[in-house]
């Protein structure tokens, strides 16, 4: 990989130990993936935040680092709501470690916004055509596919290295030739909003790390796309997909998958909720303002009978404290900075109902709990036991 004179100096350690290590990470990854050079990034989203995921090992590494990020950097969701963790049933030892992790990142200049949807709270972090170094799989998918920015899926250390250097190696989804669709997906069904998570759950398993090009009957809206991409990145490892009528089709001879209403119904039936559901969680990826408004409307005049969590970014909750108030009057809880997948708060339940294809894919493995799926209306109904 070619390095500029300035980059070479940092790589040789002339700018200090932290930058040397950061450069070494970027160069090693660039070599492994065949990058020709480093390119500047607009922003970074750093993975490796939840103490549940990175443990003592990760905390030690971040705490030992010195230096300062040179581009805007935000965090992935943490293992708990950073202020209301007691209400989640998080124990003090875990909370202490989790707060230490966020503090260690803050000392490096990383903003303590812990969210899988940085694009919902700070749109300036990613514009069409920008190169980014983002980590969280659903955010990566959204940035590449909906915003039209360019990012690979970074690990924790490589994202932090990109933030310290302000650059990332040019390979993978930073290169136009790697962004060509590989498979066509014809969706022959009239989709409701809650179908997109299921569709993504099905297609992710089919295409793995391919680049699907969808043909829809009707253009999906932004929350539909968020749910679709998140599910494909969880059941598979799709980091880029196309949905626009203008988008190029996969080249001639590529595989094509037809999805019918029947396919969606099959998964729905398989994952239908039953009496075993003891917790309901909405907000994977983090709820948008519009989704919060929808939940508030559905909960109006109702009391929850089962635990109901709504996960969102702190900035979203603060901007719409009116909606948070309405939701919590029902007994439901709005949690920030975290989600049902990365928090150990989920561990004490047996079966979680979700409206997310991503959570449906992850909960059985990462939380060792059964999962059920329904629309946001069905989730609220299950939590309030209205028939």
| Dihedral, CA of residue 169, residue 174, residue 175 and residue 179, to nearest 10 | 150
**What one-character DSSP code corresponds to residue 145?**
I
For other proteins, the closer of residues 199 and 239 by Cβ is: 239
Quick check: 107 binds other proteins (CB under 8 A)?
no
Q: Which of 6, 14, 32, 261 binds other proteins (CB under 8 A)?
A: 32
Between residues 31 and 305, which has the closer beta carbon with respect to other proteins? 31
**How far is it, in rounded angstroms, from Cα 342 to Cα 345?**
9
Q: Which of 115, 145, 158, 168 binds other proteins (CB under 8 A)?
A: 158
Of residues 16 and 129, the one with the C-beta less far from other proteins? 16
CA distance 262 to 188: 10
> Checking DSSP bridges between strand 38-40 and strand 167-169, what pairing results, if any?
antiparallel
Note whether 60 binds other proteins by CB under 8 A. Answer: yes
* Rounded Cα distance, 317 and 311, in Å: 9
Q: Select from 3, 28, 293, 315 the one that contacts other proteins (CB under 8 A).
A: 28
| 18 touches other proteins (CB under 8 A) | no
Q: Minimal distance in Å, beta carbon 79 to other proteins? A: 14
Does 157 participate in binding other proteins (rule CB under 8 A)?
Answer: yes
Sequence-distant (≥ 6) Cβ neighbours of residue 361 within 8 angstroms: 201, 204, 231, 234, 235
Q: 9, 15, 21, 39: which one contacts other proteins (CB under 8 A)?
A: 21
Residue 57 binds other proteins (CB under 8 A): yes
How many residues in the shown chain lie near other proteins by CB under 8 A? 21
54 lies in the binding site for other proteins (CB under 8 A): yes
- Candidates 15, 24, 100, 377: give the one binding other proteins (CB under 8 A): 24
Note whether 55 binds other proteins by CB under 8 A.
yes
Classify 118 as helix, strand or coil.
Answer: helix
Order the strands of the 183-188 sheet from edge to edge: 212-215, 183-188, 255-260
- Among 159, 79, 53, 59, residue whose Cα is nearest residue 337: 79
Contacting residues toward other proteins, per CB under 8 A: 21, 24-25, 28-29, 31-32, 47-48, 53-58, 60-61, 155-158
């Amino acid at each position: 990989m070619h390095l500029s004179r300035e980059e070479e100096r940092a790589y040789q350690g002339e700018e200090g130990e932290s930058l040397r290590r950061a450069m070494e990470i970027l160069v090693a990854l660039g070599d492994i993936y065949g990058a020709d050079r480093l390119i500047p990034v607009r922003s970074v989203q750093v993975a490796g935040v939840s103490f549940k995921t990175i443990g003592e090992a990760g905390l030690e590494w971040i705490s030992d680092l010195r230096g300062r990020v040179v581009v805007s950097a935000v965090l992935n969701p943490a293992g708990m709501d950073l202020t209301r963790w007691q209400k989640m049933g998080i124990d003090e030892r875990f909370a202490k470690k989790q707060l230490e992790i966020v503090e260690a990142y803050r000392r490096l200049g990383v903003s303590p916004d812990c969210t899988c949807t940085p694009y919902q709270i700070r749109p300036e972090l990613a514009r069409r055509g920008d190169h980014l170094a983002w980590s969280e799989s659903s955010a990566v998918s959204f940035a590449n596919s909906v915003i039209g920015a360019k990012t690979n899926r970074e690990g924790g250390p490589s994202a932090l290295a990109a933030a310290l250097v302000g650059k990332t190696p040019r390979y993978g989804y930073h290169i136009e030739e790697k962004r060509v669709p590989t498979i066509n997906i014809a969706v022959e069904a009239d989709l409701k909003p809650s179908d997109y998570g299921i569709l993504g759950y099905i297609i992710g398993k089919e295409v793995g790390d391919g680049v699907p090009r969808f043909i829809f009957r009707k253009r999906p809206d932004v929350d539909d796309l968020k749910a679709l991409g998140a599910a494909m990145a969880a059941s598979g490892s799709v980091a880029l997909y196309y949905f626009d009528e203008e988008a190029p089709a996969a080249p001639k001879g590529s595989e094509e998958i037809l999805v019918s209403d029947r396919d969606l119904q099959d998964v729905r039936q398989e994952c239908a909720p039953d009496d075993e559901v003891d917790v309901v969680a909405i907000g994977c990826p983090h709820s948008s303002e519009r989704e919060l408004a929808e939940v508030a409307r559905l909960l109006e005049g109702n009391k929850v009978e089962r635990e109901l969590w709504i996960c969102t970014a702190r900035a979203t909750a603060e901007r719409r404290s009116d909606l948070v108030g309405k939701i919590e009057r029902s007994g439901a809880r709005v949690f920030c900075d975290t989600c049902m997948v990365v928090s150990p708060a989920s561990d004490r339940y047996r079966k979680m109902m979700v409206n997310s294809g991503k959570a449906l894919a992850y909960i059985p493995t990462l939380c060792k709990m059964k999962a059920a799926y329904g629309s946001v209306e069905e989730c609220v109904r299950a939590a309030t036991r209205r028939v």
